[in-house]
Amino acid sequence: MVDYIIVGLGLAGIAFCESLEKHNKSFVVFDNASNASSLVAGGMYNPVILKRFTIAWRAPEQMEAATPFYKRLEQKLDVKLDYKLPVLRRFTSVEEQNLWFEAADRRQLENFLNTKLVPNTNSSISAPYGYGEVLHTGRVDTSLLLHAYASYLEKHERLYNQSFDYKLLQIDEPFHYNGILAKNIVFAEGFAMNQNPFFEYLPLDGTKGELLTIKAPSLKLESILNAAVFIIPLGNDLYKVGATYDWKDKAYTCTPEAKKDILGKLNKLINCPYKVINQEAGIRPTVKDRKPLIGVHPKHKNMFVLNGLGTRGVIIAPQVAAHLYAFIENGNAIDKEMDVKRYEKLYQG
């Protein structure tokens, strides 16, 4: 018998695995390595909402948990994951510059917004009004993380590379699944949760996002650039560019419309030659109130969900996974803003 079955190995699933390992709990993971939004994410972490120059929901405490989390993973997996890069927010007017300086004076933002205007010195980029610099930001190589962590679990015989068949789950104490006995089960499936008969009542919308990878040898950008699109340096003259937001299309296929949209914005931003190397699509697990979905099933008391991390999964995952673990094992209360009980009235039983 194991303590836990985990379904899903995106950022949420990995973070929960780490909580279990930290406390010497036994577990197995089911994941078919398909359609994970973490695989196609830009991986950027940034505590500031740059449209409005406001702090993201609980970003400082999330960053405090995320920074050592990825450092431990780098040591554990022997890979480079966390690239510390400033984010440069391109200004479009003097008015935007003034709004930035006003925001930088606020207590919540003073540690994250540089009060000095950054002039544009890159002839390949159109930025006549310069930039504002966000501090304590960077990029996590989420694709490498997922592959390296899956290899780690395989080495320790904890990973089943297969889809989870809900019909095979026998809801007893303990759970029975295909010859495996488990005290608890945690579903961390991302957007696939909408196919989960136990948690399909939760309002997980899902927002499709598409990204391009380009090669631009003369761009020479060493910071993350946030404008009409973001440009994230990957090294070797490669950059991720995106992203789109589509609330209607729930297919994992890439579209020419998204490519055209991204390139139209990119061409107004840079004036150097480039080549499109790749296009990717994923569906972010988003919720209308933009808060995570964590907690226990209304009926099955050893069944839990860890989902709804949205666009900020890189910094949210470590904290909410630890939060869920403390609820299950220590009886700690779940924050009301994240607790799935806020949607319990939607459960039909």
User: Tokens 């431990």 — which residue?
Assistant: 72
Q: How far apart are CA 160 and CA 158, in angstroms?
A: 7
Query: Quick one: pLDDT band at residue 182, thresholds 50, 70, 90?
Result: very high
Average pLDDT over residues 225-253: 93
What is the per-residue pLDDT for 172?
84
Q: Is the pLDDT of residue 35 over 60?
A: no
What is the per-residue pLDDT for 311?
86
Percent with pLDDT over 70 in the chain = 98
What is the per-residue pLDDT for 250?
87
Q: What is the pLDDT of residues 51-88, one digit of tens each?
A: 889 999 999 999 999 999 999 999 999 999 999 999 99
Query: Quick one: pLDDT band at residue 38, thresholds 50, 70, 90?
Result: low
Q: Domains in the chain and their CATH numbers?
A: 2-41+143-204+288-346 (3.50.50.60), 83-138+206-284 (3.30.9.10)
Average pLDDT over residues 247-275: 95
- ∠ at Cα 9 (3, 13), nearest 5°? 55
Q: Is the pLDDT of residue 98 over 60?
A: yes
What is the per-residue pLDDT for 204?
92
Phi and psi for 170 in degrees, rounded to 5? -95, 120
Q: What is the pLDDT of residues 274-290, one digit of tens each?
A: 999 999 999 999 998 99
pTM: 0.95
CA-CA distances (angstroms) from residue 245 to 174, 310, 329? 41, 12, 37
What is the per-residue pLDDT for 206?
87
CA Rg value for the chain: 21
Omega into 256 within 30° of 0, i.e. cis?
Answer: no
User: Tokens 């709990």 — which residue?
Assistant: 25
Burial of 292 (0-12, 13-18, 19+ CB in 10 A): buried
